[in-house]
């Protein structure tokens, strides 16, 4: 079971290797691949040093799985090369998500669409993953008609450069800017790039990916993505309009009974999900569960999860686990 991690030196790539260790994925040989500036350096995996190789060398090693977190352009270039060589690619970028013939997978929700012969599988956007984890069991019973989403996203979603910008600002150091504005003591409604219709690419991902994962193009979605000065997790305020009337206690039961979800909801005791709670954990935390009193069949949820773990690395490894278990490689 050879496994390549492409983008091994990045924030998500490092976490992917950590998750492979933690979950005891049966790796017989790890092949960490990165850009030329990192080739030849060593990382530690399962207590042993492993040399970083070029992506070309990783292809030639013919791994069973190649888990990508190297950006969309690298995925576009190299994922087909691995796939042609018989490797199953699990890609964390936006490159392949909306191709009709590429599965977009959250294993707890739609692993049933995976089949032998799939060579490129897309990992959804971090914000989408945590949202659909809470929504999937509700959609199955009550059918979601419309979603209004506002996200409050960690700087880790942008990467190391953004974390460094925030730390520099907190220390009064002038340094490289990942964003157009200061992030410490600030927040801005800008994630991804702006499109002609005024929405950002991050907002568009929430719309398109939710429909694809829940297998329902009729769901109407509108979203506003906001970056906030925290490390360790994304938060989302989600307003849901159902086609059917719902029972609030049943909603809680459906969410808590879904694998990977945790209800954390006792406002009287100041108990509600926060990024600081989700940091370095794989669960999706759901709280502030309450009726929308302004409109019939509407519900409010507050959803928080670690965007680097379940939002990226852990979900990718779970896809590999499912495919290995079902021998879909």
Q: Is 224 exposed, middle or buried (0-12, 13-18, 19+ CB in 10 A)?
A: middle
CA–CA dist 161, 143 (Å, integer): 40
User: What's the average model confidence in pLDDT over 109-133?
Assistant: 97
CA–CA dist 94, 212 (Å, integer): 14
Tokens 């409109």 -> residue: 295
Q: What is the pLDDT of residue 197?
A: 98
**pLDDT interval class at 268 (50, 70, 90):** very high
CB 30 within 8 A of CB 50: yes
Q: Is the pLDDT of residue 55 over 90?
A: yes
Q: Is the pLDDT of residue 37 over 90?
A: yes
User: What's the average model confidence in pLDDT over 91-116?
Assistant: 97
* Strand, coil or helix: 108: helix
pLDDT digits (tens, 9 = 90+) for 133-173: 999 999 999 999 999 999 999 999 999 999 999 999 999 99
Share of the chain above pLDDT 70, in %: 100
CA within 13 Å, CB half, 218: 7
Q: What is the pLDDT of residue 301?
A: 98
CA–CA dist 275, 310 (Å, integer): 13
CA within 13 Å, CB half, 85: 18
CB 12 within 8 A of CB 312: yes
Q: Is the pLDDT of residue 287 over 90?
A: yes
User: How open is the CA angle 314-236-264, to the nearest 5 degrees?
Assistant: 75
CA–CA dist 316, 241 (Å, integer): 30
pLDDT digits (tens, 9 = 90+) for 182-202: 999 999 999 999 999 999 999
221: β partners: 147
CA–CA dist 157, 232 (Å, integer): 9
The CA-atom distances, in angstroms, between 256 and each of 119, 138, 260, 261, 264 are 33, 11, 8, 6, 9
237: β partners: 150, 302
5: β partners: 32, 67
Q: What is the pLDDT of residue 79?
A: 98
User: What's the average model confidence in pLDDT over 99-121?
Assistant: 97
**What is the CATH class of 127-307?**
alpha beta
Q: What is the pLDDT of residue 72?
A: 96
So where are the chain's domains? 2-123+312-325, 127-307
| Strand pairing category for 65-68 and 88-91 | parallel
User: What's the average model confidence in pLDDT over 73-97?
Assistant: 97
Its pTM stands at 0.96
* Strand, coil or helix: 70: coil
CA–CA dist 6, 66 (Å, integer): 7
CA–CA dist 165, 155 (Å, integer): 9
Superfamily of the domain at 2-123+312-325: NAD(P)-binding Rossmann-like Domain (3.40.50.720)
| Residues with a known catalytic role | 126, 234
- Compute how many other C-beta atoms are within 10 angstroms of the C-beta atom of residue 303: 27
CB 301 within 8 A of CB 134: yes
What are the tokens at 239? 């307003």
Radius of gyration of the chain (CA): 20
Q: Is the pLDDT of residue 232 over 90?
A: no
Q: What is the pLDDT of residue 51?
A: 98
User: How open is the CA angle 226-264-289, to the nearest 5 degrees?
Assistant: 70
């Amino acid at each position: 079971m050879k496994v390549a991690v492409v983008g091994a030196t990045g924030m998500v790539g490092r976490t992917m290797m950590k998750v492979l260790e933690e979950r005891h994925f049966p790796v017989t040989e790890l092949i960490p691949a990165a850009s030329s500036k990192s080739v030849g350096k060593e990382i530690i995996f399962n207590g042993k040093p492993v040399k970083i190789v070029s992506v070309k060398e990783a292809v030639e090693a013919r791994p069973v799985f190649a888990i990508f977190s190297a950006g969309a352009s690298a995925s576009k270039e190299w994922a087909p090369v691995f796939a042609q060589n018989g490797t199953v690619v699990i890609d964390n970028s936006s490159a392949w998500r909306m191709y009709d013939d590429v599965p977009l997978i959250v294993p707890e929700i739609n692993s049933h669409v995976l089949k032998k012969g799939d060579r490129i599988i897309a990992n959804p956007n971090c914000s989408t993953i945590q949202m659909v984890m809470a929504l999937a069991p509700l959609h199955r019973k009550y059918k979601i008609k419309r979603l209004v989403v506002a996200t409050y996203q960690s700087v880790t979603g942008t990467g190391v450069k953004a974390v460094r910008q925030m730390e520099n600002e907190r220390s009064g150091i002038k340094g490289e800017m990942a964003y157009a504005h200061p992030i410490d003591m600030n927040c801005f409604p800008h994630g991804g790039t702006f499109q002609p219709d005024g929405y950002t690419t991050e907002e568009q991902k929430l719309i398109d990916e939710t429909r694809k994962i829940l297998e329902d193009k009729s769901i109407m979605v509108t979203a506003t993505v906001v970056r906030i000065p925290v490390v360790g997790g994304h938060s989302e305020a989600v307003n849901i309009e159902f086609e059917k009337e719902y029972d609030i206690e049943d909603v809680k039961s459906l969410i808590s009974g879904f694998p990977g979800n945790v209800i954390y909801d006792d406002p009287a005791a100041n108990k509600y999900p926060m990024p600081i709670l989700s940091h370095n954990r794989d669960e999706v935390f759901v709280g502030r569960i309450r009726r929308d009193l302004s409109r019939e069949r509407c519900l409010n949820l507050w959803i928080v999860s670690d965007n680097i773990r379940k939002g990226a690395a852990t979900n990718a490894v779970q896809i590999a686990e499912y495919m290995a278990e079902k021998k879909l490689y």
